[in-house]
Amino acid sequence: MHEFVVEISVVIPTYNRKNLLSRALKSILAQSSKPAEIIVVDDGSTDSTASLVQGFHPDINYFFQENHGVSSARNTGLRMARCEWLALLDSDDEWLPSKLAAQATALSQNPEFRICHTDEIWMRRNKRVNAMRKHAKSGGWIYQRCLPMCVISPSSVLIHRSVFEEVGGFDEHLPACEDYDLWLRICASYPTLFVDEPLLKKYGGHADQLSGKFWGMDRFRVRAMEKILLAGCLGTHDRTATIRELRYKLHLLVNGARKRNNSQVILEYSRKIARYEAAEPPYGAKAAW
């Protein structure tokens, strides 16, 4: 019987986060089960990120690219990675020391899975905060749980390379909710293995976080749902649930636009509502975004 071996490449995208990046790198080097490869993709930083990484540890692979956004940086790192298993760590997050070991053990016991994620600890202004029930993590076929919001953290996942080869990487045209989009595509086709331990510290409250940069984040979730409907890969129940959630988010966007007296947005999303409330939505037509 062949031994199940989990060799892991870790990919860290970063942009002008030298001070936070140091904490993330230390948490990788402190792993009880060491990754085979660490890749830092610097997405055009203008601070001294390069000198920090190059002086941090000789085995860290540092790559600089022009600023194209976090999805581009992650995809660059994923293409560079040489291992079959790929882990992501955002530069403002921190792994607990047993994170990779726990996932490797779980995968060795459940070798049929190709994606594994863990529970997490939320930190805000260096204090622990409690997540709401709707943010609870789980495993199995969780596509429909992914529809309302992002229920998998990029920093928690361990994904087999074959998954990206099938569904593609992060959508570089989405300025936000790129992880939500990816989890929809993955969870529509793959069950998820969940390690019910908080093995990640996820830090919030930074001024440069994407969640605070854009209004109406549901705009990008709508685009992701329209994309997967057009792809034609969903079963009947998942497709029905997707249309239901899509309608709900469109109504939220219209209500928000009414409060701001934004007639252009009201018109755009009202048309989408009419489309998806029709008896036979035009799944084969091109999306109107």
Between 257 and 125, the higher pLDDT residue: 257
Domains of the chain with bracketed CATH: 8-212 (3.90.550.10), 218-277 (no CATH)
193 near 107, Cβ under 8 Å?
Answer: yes
Q: Show the CA angle centred on residue 129, arms to residues 95 and 151, nearest 5°.
A: 65
pLDDT confidence band for 116 (50 / 70 / 90): very high
Instruction: Give 88's strand partners.
Output: 11
pLDDT confidence band for 285 (50 / 70 / 90): very low
Other CB atoms within a 10 A radius of the CB of residue 273 amount to 15
* Mean pLDDT lowest among 99-113, 127-141, 164-178, 267-281: 267-281
Residue 201: pLDDT over 80:
yes
Within 8 A by CB and 6+ apart from 41, the residues are 11, 12, 13, 14, 63, 65, 73, 74, 76, 77, 80
pLDDT (0 to 100) of residue 125: 79
Length reported for the chain: 289
The structure tokens 């331990």 sit at: 197
pLDDT (0 to 100) of residue 134: 80
